């Protein structure tokens, strides 16, 4: 049984970087946990977290709820950016 915390991390509405997390984990497993083999994946994950954290902080300052856009809303945000 998954813990509440683990469920939150797998929830696309809460964690915008589930795909990047999964890709990084798979890369590490495929490369015998040699971090230097997965640098690109770590960078993509970090960029994802940084981007959505910025959006979340902006929404928090503006009083927008929820602070993290839903998965559907995030998709629209990304599409509007090209």
Give the number of domains in the chain. 1
On whether residue 10 sits in a domain, the answer given is: no
Token pair 């915390």: residue: 5
Reference 56, options 13, 7, 6, 11; nearest CA is 13
Token pair 């945000």: residue: 77
On whether residue 44 sits in a domain, the answer given is: yes
Q: Which domain holds residue 74?
A: 17-80
Phi and psi for 9 in degrees, rounded to 5? -65, -25
Q: State yes or no: pLDDT of 69 exceeds 80.
A: yes
What is the pTM (predicted TM-score) of this model? 0.84
Specify whether the CB–CB gap between 21 and 41 falls below 8 A: no
Mean pLDDT in the chain?
Answer: 93
- Structure confidence by residue, pLDDT tens digits, 3-22: 888 888 888 888 999 999 99
On whether residue 71 sits in a domain, the answer given is: yes
């Amino acid at each position: 049984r998954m813990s509440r915390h683990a469920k939150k991390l797998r929830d696309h509405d809460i964690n915008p970087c589930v795909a990047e997390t999964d890709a990084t984990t798979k890369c590490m497993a495929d490369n015998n946990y040699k971090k230097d083999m997965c640098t690109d994946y770590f960078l993509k994950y970090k960029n994802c977290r940084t981007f959505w954290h910025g959006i979340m902080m902006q929404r928090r300052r503006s009083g927008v709820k929820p602070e993290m856009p839903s998965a559907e809303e995030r998709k629209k945000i990304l599409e509007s950016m090209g």
